Amino acid sequence: VQLVESGGGSVQAVGSLTLTCAASGYDYIKYCLGWFRQAPGKGREGVAIIYNRGGSTYYAGSVEGRFTISQEYNKNTVNLQMNSLKPEDTAMYYCAADVVLCLYGLGTADRIDYWGQGTQVTVS
């Protein structure tokens, strides 16, 4: 499984960014894809999941209504559109793929096997 994130950067508060994860080598029938983030000195927290069957989505309360996760099947990518960004959204953002995401949702960071290298988002 290979996950490669891109699209991070620096932006002012209330601005927008779109993160992209190029995903390959995973079982698209069994696995779900998600975005997590980790701020300095904090644990890795779940942000959003897109489910493998039907493409339904789920968001952490802190980002619901501001972030949108989507999947482009023809490009094998999963995107995270982030609007109305806040300084507290500053973190390293990681793409993840695993069956446990489908089963247990966003509180599964310690059980996920497949991660990207991360992309930094800084909001000032």
2-28 tens-digit pLDDT:
999 999 999 999 999 999 999 999 888
Contact between residue 49 and residue 111 where contact means Cβ atoms under 8 Å apart: no
Beta bridge partners of 18: 81
Quickly state the pLDDT bin for 72 (edges 50, 70, 90): confident
Quickly state the pLDDT bin for 112 (edges 50, 70, 90): very high
Contact between residue 101 and residue 114 where contact means Cβ atoms under 8 Å apart: no
Contact between residue 102 and residue 112 where contact means Cβ atoms under 8 Å apart: no
- Return mean pLDDT, the chain: 93
What's the pLDDT tens digit per position in 76-95? 899 999 999 999 999 999 99
Contact between residue 19 and residue 118 where contact means Cβ atoms under 8 Å apart: no
Question: Does residue 75 register a pLDDT over 80?
Answer: no
Predicted pLDDT of residue 54: 67
Predicted pLDDT of residue 29: 83
Cβ atoms within 10 Å of 108's Cβ, excluding its own = 20
User: Residues 22-42: what's their mean pLDDT?
Assistant: 92
Which of 120, 124, 98, 108 lies closest to 40 in space, CA to CA? 120
Length of the chain: 124
Question: Does residue 73 register a pLDDT over 90?
Answer: no
